[in-house]
């Protein structure tokens, strides 16, 4: 779990490194999803997980759009304007959006008690981040809103998984979303190829981002879901942003302001309460599900 969180937390730093070296957003997303597919597709074939995926038809397109195509685009374009650590915090708002959206499409997901309190607490953290840390120019605010939109997209993906992928092997779901997403971004990547060869550290960042943070980390996450259930596995989403803030400060010289620290604490605490419906250490009223259908990763 810690290794997966460390990989996902580093993804935002790798994106920033590639952007700063002039690699286009389309190339970054296409390459990372293609490398992720290269890791996951052979495993899906070995597990016999492709036939159940093909039977889901257009559900695959809907999930790829909500889980990868839209949020990866929003995160990558948004990181042109905000720090990588802040991007990770804003993406971690996905459970808050689930709590806000789900009651309109799934009455079983209504927020009450601690869950409702978590939503309110997380919203305070978002307001703090936008009011204190993103109080600069319009580009910063736009970048923050784009990344916040990625968190909302991941929330939609959770509902798509619940509706269309119950009982489907997780590795097949992951492989399908990576293949469809890489194909979706291929035209943009070909149209925006870099005019000069990227630096060696940029290539290394892209390889680790794709094969590690997108392929291997997805595999580990889905295995955790199968082993301990989605509720406990989702704790990774609350650990990864702390790694991102640390990487940004230590390796990219990003400022860690008081607004970032307070926003991180409030957003992650609110997201925990919204998703778990309980305080840390308390026993949940319902046992964690051991469904093989994955919850979309929230911090990538």
> What are 268-284's pLDDT values in tens digits?
888 777 766 666 666 55
- CA 13 – CA 154 distance, rounded (Å): 20
Mean pLDDT of 41-70: 90
The percentage of the chain sitting over the pLDDT mark of 90, rounded to a whole number, equals: 35
pLDDT score, position 274 = 73
Mean pLDDT of 152-166: 84
Mean pLDDT of 116-132: 78
Mean pLDDT of 218-244: 75
Domain membership of residue 271 (yes or no) is yes
The model's confidence at residue 36, banded by pLDDT at 50, 70 and 90, is very high
The model's confidence at residue 286, banded by pLDDT at 50, 70 and 90, is very low
**Could you tell me which residue, 125 or 153, shows the higher pLDDT?**
153
Domain membership of residue 49 (yes or no) is yes
- CA 217 – CA 107 distance, rounded (Å): 32
The model's confidence at residue 136, banded by pLDDT at 50, 70 and 90, is low
Burial class (CB in 10 A: 0-12, 13-18, 19+), 284: exposed
End-to-end CA distance of the chain: 14
Average pLDDT, the chain: 83
Contact (Cβ atoms closer than 8 angstroms) between residue 251 and residue 13: yes
CA torsion 44-49-53-54 (nearest 10°) is 100
Q: List phi, psi (to 5°) of 184.
A: -65, -35
Domain membership of residue 286 (yes or no) is no
Any idea which of 53-57, 106-110, 164-168 has the lowest mean pLDDT?
Answer: 106-110
Any idea which of 76-85, 155-164, 288-297 has the lowest mean pLDDT?
Answer: 288-297
Residue 134's H or E segment, with its range, is: none
The model's confidence at residue 129, banded by pLDDT at 50, 70 and 90, is confident
- CA 258 – CA 178 distance, rounded (Å): 37
What pTM was computed for the model?
0.84
Mean pLDDT of 240-268: 87
The model's confidence at residue 193, banded by pLDDT at 50, 70 and 90, is very high
pLDDT exceeds cutoff 50 at 294: no
- CA 281 – CA 284 distance, rounded (Å): 9
Q: Which of 68, 132, 114 is CA-nearest to residue 298?
A: 68
Domain membership of residue 204 (yes or no) is yes
Domain membership of residue 223 (yes or no) is yes
pLDDT score, position 181 = 96
The model's confidence at residue 290, banded by pLDDT at 50, 70 and 90, is very low
pLDDT score, position 13 = 94
Contact (Cβ atoms closer than 8 angstroms) between residue 237 and residue 95: yes
Tell me which range, 85-99, 112-126, 200-214, is most confidently predicted by mean pLDDT.
200-214
> What is the SS3 string spanning 14-78?
HHHHHHHCCCCHHHHHHHHHHHHHHHHHHHHHHCCCHHHHHCCCCHHHHHHHHHHHHHHHHHHHH
pLDDT exceeds cutoff 50 at 299: no
Mean pLDDT of 41-51: 88
Chain-centre distance of CA 83, in angstroms?
A: 16
Mean pLDDT of 56-62: 91
- CA 101 – CA 243 distance, rounded (Å): 28
The model's confidence at residue 231, banded by pLDDT at 50, 70 and 90, is low
Task: State how many domains the chain has.
Answer: 1
| Residue spans of alpha helices (H) in the chain | 2-20, 25-46, 50-54, 59-64, 70-78, 84-91, 94-105, 114-128, 138-164, 170-191, 200-207, 217-228, 230-233, 236-251, 258-276
pLDDT score, position 278 = 67
Mean pLDDT of 178-193: 96
Domain membership of residue 293 (yes or no) is no
Question: Range of 145's domain?
Answer: 2-276
Domain membership of residue 106 (yes or no) is yes
Domain membership of residue 84 (yes or no) is yes
């Amino acid at each position: 779990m810690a290794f997966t969180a460390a990989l996902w937390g580093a993804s935002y730093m790798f994106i920033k490194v590639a952007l700063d070296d002039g690699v286009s957003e389309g190339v970054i997303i296409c390459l990372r999803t293609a490398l992720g597919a290269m890791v996951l597709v052979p495993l899906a074939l070995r597990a016999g997980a492709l036939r159940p995926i093909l039977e889901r038809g257009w559900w695959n397109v809907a999930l790829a759009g909500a889980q990868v195509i839209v949020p990866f685009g929003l995160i990558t374009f948004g990181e042109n304007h905000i720090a990588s650590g802040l991007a990770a915090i804003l993406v971690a708002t996905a459970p808050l959006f689930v709590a806000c959206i789900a009651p309109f499409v799934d009455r079983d997901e209504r927020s009450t008690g601690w869950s409702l309190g978590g939503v309110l607490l997380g919203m305070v953290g978002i307001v703090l981040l936008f009011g204190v840390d993103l109080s600069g120019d319009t580009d910063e605010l736009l970048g923050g809103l784009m990344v916040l939109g990625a968190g909302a997209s991941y929330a939609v993906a959770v509902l798509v998984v619940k509706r269309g992928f119950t009982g489907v092997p997780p590795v097949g779901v992951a492989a399908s979303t990576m293949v469809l997403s890489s194909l979706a971004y291929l035209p943009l990547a070909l149209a925006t190829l870099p005019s000069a060869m990227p630096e060696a550290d940029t290539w290394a960042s892209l390889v680790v981002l794709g094969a590690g943070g997108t392929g291997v980390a997805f595999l580990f996450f889905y295995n955790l879901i199968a082993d301990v259930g989605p509720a406990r596995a989702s704790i990774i989403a609350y650990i990864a942003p702390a790694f991102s803030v640390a990487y940004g400060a230590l390796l990219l010289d990003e400022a860690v302001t008081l607004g970032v620290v307070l926003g991180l604490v409030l957003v992650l605490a609110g997201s925990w309460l919204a998703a778990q419906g309980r305080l840390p250490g308390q026993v949940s009223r319902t046992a964690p599900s051991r469904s093989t259908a994955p919850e979309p990763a929230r911090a990538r």
